[in-house]
Chains A and B, each alone.
Chain A
Amino acid sequence: MTISLAAEPIFHLGGFPITNTLIASWVSVLFLVSSTARLQAKGLKAIPKGIQNVFEFVIEAFLKLMDGVTQDRAQSIRFFPWVMTIFLFIITSNWMGILPGFGTIGINEVEHGETTFLPFLRTVNSDLNVTVALAVISVVMTQIFGIMAIGVIKYSKRFLNFKNPIIGILEFIDQFAVLVSFSFRLFGNIFAGEVLLVIVSSLIPYVVPLPFYFLELFVGAIQAFVFAVLTLVFFKVASMEPH
């Protein structure tokens, strides 16, 4: 039994590797897009029903939570699409990864005389490429929201601190630290969960893995929440005037 840290390419498209996590992320995006399409197809009603209720509940609850951090409804609305989408994408991907078929359907590939199992689908966030992409989006948007809120000059003072240059350099390094911590936290948690499930399932395949599946549901939600709320906090901090 080998567990690869990197996502395995299923095939190459003109030199571009189509990995199993990329396919899984497409499925995840497709799920959310089709949910939205269903919402649109039914049309928004003043008196909500079915899927509209779900959307409204999630959006309203999240917006309220964001108000607690920003203390400003207008700012919450501005940050909302990013934070909400990060949350929805991560939680959908994480929970989808627990579904049967993920990591279990695939082909055996013979490479260098060794047989490796190649699953067609793999939990999206167990690929560092995905988490790095999300972290890059979060950090880049943090800079953009900071500039939008207080202007380029004031915002750049955060990094070009002439009175105390060390602080400026530390702030600069901090952004990279955020990038790394964001990506490795999510990747680490989800990858570890995957490994845990694989090992437990291979040891005792019946009943015993069940609590671990519940644990993974919990971890998947918590990690999505942590990523989204941390992003929100960084947006908020960047939007405040430096002292």
Chain B
Amino acid sequence: MELIEKLGIDWRLIIAQIINFGILLFVLYRYAYKPILRMLNKRTETIAKSLTDAKQIEENLAISNSKKDEILREARKQAQRILEEVTLRGENMRQEKLQAANKEVEEIVRRTKEELAKAKVALVKEVRAEVADLVVQAAEKVLKERLDEKKDRELIESALAEVMKNRA
């Protein structure tokens, strides 16, 4: 008991200190630990989320990049194919046109030749008829004016000249 007195132990003071501590604990818990722990947790979550988001974004970027490349490659290939096709078709078309034109020219030439031949036949026929007429007329004239040798000769000559002239 003397020791306790010397050490100043007093249960009322112990109780007072416990209450003191209780108040401190309450205030610190309510206004410091709890909000700060919540804040720290939230921050950890936010950082974790940002990191996963960043990773996701990076992945997406890689995917879209490869997709873009693929699309570009595809487009280039397609363009190449279209170009080839167009070139081929153009060549074909030119060939066809050329053939058609050649055919037409040939046709025209053929027809012209035919027509020329026909015209020639007709002309010959006409000329022949005319010549016959002229001969008949000349013969008539000659027969009518067959009086003397001299006249006869003149007539024949003139008739011939006429014929020749006509013929020329």
**B is bound to A:** yes
Q: Is the CB of B24 within 8 A of A33?
A: yes
B16 close to A22 (CB less than 8 A): yes
- What class of interface size applies to chain A in its complex with B? 35 or more
Q: How many residue-residue contacts, CB under 8 A, span A and B?
A: 108
Asked if B6 is at the interface of the complex by the 8 Å CB criterion, the answer is yes
| Chain A 28-59 interface 0/1 with B at a Cβ cutoff of 8 Å (1 = within) | 01001100110110001010000010011001
**Pairwise interchain contact B31-A130, C-beta atoms closer than 8 A:** no
- A16 partner residues in chain B, CB cutoff 8 A: 12, 16
B27 within 8 A of partner (CB): yes
Chain A residues near B5: list those with CB within 8 A: 6
Cβ contacts under 8 Å, A233 to chain B: none
Q: Is B149 an interface residue (CB 8 A)?
A: no
Assess whether B37 is interfacial by the CB under 8 Å rule. yes
Chain A neighbourhood of B28, CB < 8 A = 32, 36, 81, 84-85, 88
- Among the 9-residue stretches A111-119, A132-140, A163-171, A193-201, the one with 4 or more Cβ atoms under 8 Å from chain B is A132-140
CA of A77 to CA of B31 in the docked complex: distance in angstroms? Answer: 16
Interface centre among A17, A29, A36 (most CB of B within 10 A): A36
Q: Please report the C-alpha to C-alpha distance between residue A7 and residue B21 in the assembled complex, in whole angstroms.
A: 18
A10-32 near B? 1/0 per residue, CB < 8 Å: 00000011010010011001001
Q: Which of A5, A56, A84 contacts B8 (CB 8 A)?
A: A5
CB–CB B7/A5 < 8 A: yes
A133 to B23 Cα, complex, angstroms: 14
**B side interface size, CB within 8 A:** 32
In-complex Cβ contact of A81 among B17, B25, B39 (8 A): B25
Taking the complex as formed, is B62 at the interface, i.e. its CB lies under 8 A from any CB of chain A? no
Partner of B21, one of A4, A56, A84, A133: A133
Return B28 CB to nearest CB of chain A, in Å: 5
Smallest CB separation, A166 vs chain B (Å): 29
Instruction: Determine if A129 is an interface residue (Cβ-Cβ < 8 Å).
Output: yes
Given contacts A6-B7, A36-B31, A129-B16, 7 further A-B contacts (CB under 8 A): A36-B28, A44-B35, A55-B32, A59-B36, A59-B40, A88-B24, A127-B8
| Chain A residues with a Cβ under 8 A of chain B | 4-7, 16-17, 19, 22, 25-26, 29, 32-33, 36-37, 39-40, 44, 46, 52, 55-56, 59-60, 63, 77, 80-82, 84-85, 88-89, 127-130, 132-134, 136-137
Q: Which 10 A-B pairs have the closest CB atoms?
A: A6-B8, A133-B17, A129-B13, A81-B29, A85-B25, A36-B32, A133-B14, A36-B31, A133-B18, A29-B24
